[in-house]
Amino acid sequence: MIDVHFYPSPNGLKIPMMLEECGLPYRIVEVNILRGAQFEPEFLRISPNNRIPAIVDHDAPGGPLSIFESGAILQYLAEKSGQLLPRDVHGRYEVLQWLYWQVAGLGPMAGQAHHFRAFAPEKIPYGIKRYTDEVNRLYGVLQRQLAGREYIAGDYSIADIACWPWIVPHERQGQSLDDFPDVKRWFEAVRARPATQRAYAKGHERMADAEAYQFLYGQTAKSVDDRSREHPQP
């Protein structure tokens, strides 16, 4: 059994998408990041970066294995299941380079666009334009890659699973899929997959309220240490 420490954010939803595709048994352990559960010591032992998602595979060779970072989790699950990651070197690295493109580029830049456009306590025109434009550039990269391809690396793979949840909130990023017809076609194809629909039935992202801001933004090394001390392990 695999425990999925989860919140229904774009990064969090990648993991149920993958597990629903490959058929491995799992259970959801919700981490309410809007109320600070990501700072509890029990969770920090699994995810020292106090971010979701994280997993614990209780059936791993050699004993339970915990993994944090969504890209690492997707690669592990692909290798464990033998699915959605080619074994030949060319196909494998075609997928992995787009997986890393998402975790290093599309996700962080889209996240900044979300922040400056929707969550920042003050509107900063430079920040809004900087990240809206960069996300637009990245959508263009994806558009060119998808021209003539059904999925990002040809066949459906963990690259598609990594990218798709970050395209779901495209309007919040200031983007229109009508400007990127191949991205739109691909987006609809992934949305129609039964595994995607089952995964998204696990929950939808909730908007942060005023109380949540203290947990989501402005954390420092000291504040994380202080919060973890507030919840010592027995």
Residue 212's pLDDT band (boundaries 50, 70, 90)?
low
Q: What is the pLDDT of residue 64?
A: 98
pLDDT tens column, 89-107: 999 999 999 999 999 999 9
Per the model's pLDDT, the better-predicted residue between 221 and 71 turns out to be 71
> What stretch(es) of the chain map to CATH 1.20.1050.10?
89-193
Q: Which CATH number fits domain 89-193: 2.30.30.220, 3.40.50.720, 1.20.1050.10, 2.60.40.790?
A: 1.20.1050.10
pLDDT at 112 over 50: yes
> What stretch(es) of the chain map to CATH 3.40.30.10?
2-83+199-229
Fold (CATH) for 2-83+199-229: Glutaredoxin (3.40.30)
pLDDT tens column, 169-200: 999 999 999 999 999 999 999 999 999 999 99
Ordered DSSP codes for the chain: -EEEEE-SSHHHHHHHHHHHHHT--EEEEE--GGGTGGGSHHHHHH-TT--S-EEEETTSTTS-EEEESHHHHHHHHHHHHT-SS-SSHHHHHHHHHHHHHIIIIIHHHHHHHHIIIII-SS--HHHHHHHHHHHHHHHHHHHHHHTT-SBTBBB--HHHHHHHHHHTTTTTTT--GGG-HHHHHHHHHHHTSHHHHHHHTT--PPPP-HHHHHHHSS--HHHHHHHHHTS---
